[in-house]
Structure 1
């Protein structure tokens, strides 16, 4: 495995790689998909529970993985988004060197990291992102998204307001909040999406995912979604591997999400099926 860490052009952003070795003994090891993981943390910090354990789980499925440690508050939008665009572009530019399939580079995000991943999914082709990040749309386009209990909407009825305050600043106006309310930004250019949430999530209500699902459906974007009846916010793998320091975060009823996501990824056609 090729494990590296590197600073990205966006100040405070660092990419950690978990690239699997290629071997003539392994079928298809020369061009594997890659997933860039964005941990949650309300745009206040990057959660360790949603970082390396997720990358290693993907590696165990024969998938390359990277973890993006992105800038949080007081950094404001679109700083973290620029970092993710640069991360996707770096992996795509080095695809041949590290045996990555450049048409199967996905983003995976948890909670606020899900908002970040989904932001790239809806904004990758927007001129403002190319201007801010220095990355062209063709390099930063994700071929798919795996969103785990994501922050999506700024609607006060369902929003995780702390994430939006950290992302935009406490003085953000309605127009600024609407811009990053991602259910309003979905188009037919948004990549195929796998999504899961729990109905019992009181931190980021399931309506965030439901609203995004409806927007994807209207736009004709391929979608797979799973909603679990039990489980608090921030489950990560929902297993003992990612239990928090107090032992919470283990929910066997939800732990199957990862196998479902891995199976979906393997069915995903090159270039996101577009």
Structure 2
């Protein structure tokens, strides 16, 4: 029997939805006005058992915007997230590795499909247990301000390790990957995983938030013009942020000797987030002797993930990541 990619993906996603799930967790973001092109994950993990800390004065309404005009493809974005959580994709044949995925969206929203579910399913098909993080957005009034997304990423890493036995994963082999502004969050996690951004709530918070490896993909890094992505900078630190605040939230200034090895990807024709962001981060990693693998592609633009890179040289980057990850002990 011949199984095409669509059938295989539907079967794998259905398996993810049928996996054992924690009770009374917040469902994934809504499907939106357009029907889902694929079965959606149903297993989630709420980050904060008693609610997210530092709630905005004005209550948020979680809203999903469908941006796709093709009924065969979803391209959703979600904002107003007051219950940050992870959507879980379990593999049929676990290899013991796991990956926390932080989609982009300019800190204005969180992309659901292209940089979230599609990537998570790709990793699950290769044995990874994948977690897509729907993190809080710093411009929506949270008390932690620019650190609120990092709080969620730190908490997510700790929860994955805390529940490693539930998922059959090795707590030492938890990776992080992020895209665009989610790439900034990934780099922020890699460089400030031990920063105190929230008060511990349970035993999970005794565990490390350091990823084994980190992969910021076409990341926002600098908060300083002209390299900074203006929208991400505005949403993260505000239009009138001073040089000290810019520096505090530019991961290239926060690389330390314990920053994990990094895998970097960028297209040189990116007209939204200049490739200089990746080059600045690479230089900072090299200065601290942190192992770094860097792939720059002539074409690709911004936000290509896998879907928009198909048929182009940039389309090989996920396989390049796997090859590199094996050399870093991710596969055991």
**Shorter-normalised TM-score: what interval?**
0.7 to 0.9
Q: CA deviation at 1:177?
A: 1.2
* CA distance 1:121–1:217, shift in 2 (3 Å): same
Aligned to 2:151: 82
Residues 1-274 of structure 1 aligned to structure 2 (within 5 Å): 1=16, 2=19, 4-9=43-48, 10=52, 11-21=82-92, 29=94, 32-48=96-112, 49-72=114-137, 73-74=139-140, 75=142, 76-126=145-195, 128-129=196-197, 131=199, 136=205, 138-237=207-306, 242-243=307-308, 250=310, 252-269=312-329
Equivalent-residue separation in structure 2 for 1:117 and 1:19 (angstroms)? 21
Name the structure, 1 or 2, with higher relative contact order (CA <8 Å, separation 6+).
1
- Residues 194, 208 of structure 2: 8 Å contact kept: no
Separation in structure 2 between the aligned mates of residue 12 and residue 221 of structure 1, nearest angstrom: 35
Work out whether residues 92 and 127 of structure 2, in 8 Å CA contact, stay in contact via their aligned partners in 1. no
Structure 1, unmatched stretches of 5+, are 23-28, 244-248
TM-score (norm 1): 0.86
How many Å separate the matches in 1 of 2:201 and 2:231? 25
Q: What CA RMSD, in Å, does the superposition of the two structures yield over aligned residues? A: 2.2
TM-aligned CA deviation for residue 141 of structure 1: 1.4
TM-score by length of structure 2 reads 0.72
Highest Rg: 1 or 2?
Answer: 2
Q: CA deviation at 1:172?
A: 2.3
Counterpart Cα distance in 1 of 2:313 and 2:86? 32
Quote the Cα distance in structure 1 between the aligned partners of 2:238 and 2:201: 20
In the alignment, the residues of structure 2 paired with residue 71 and residue 97 of structure 1 have an alpha-carbon distance, to the nearest angstrom, of 25
Q: CA deviation at 1:267?
A: 2.2
2 CA distance for matches of 1:144 and 1:16? 21
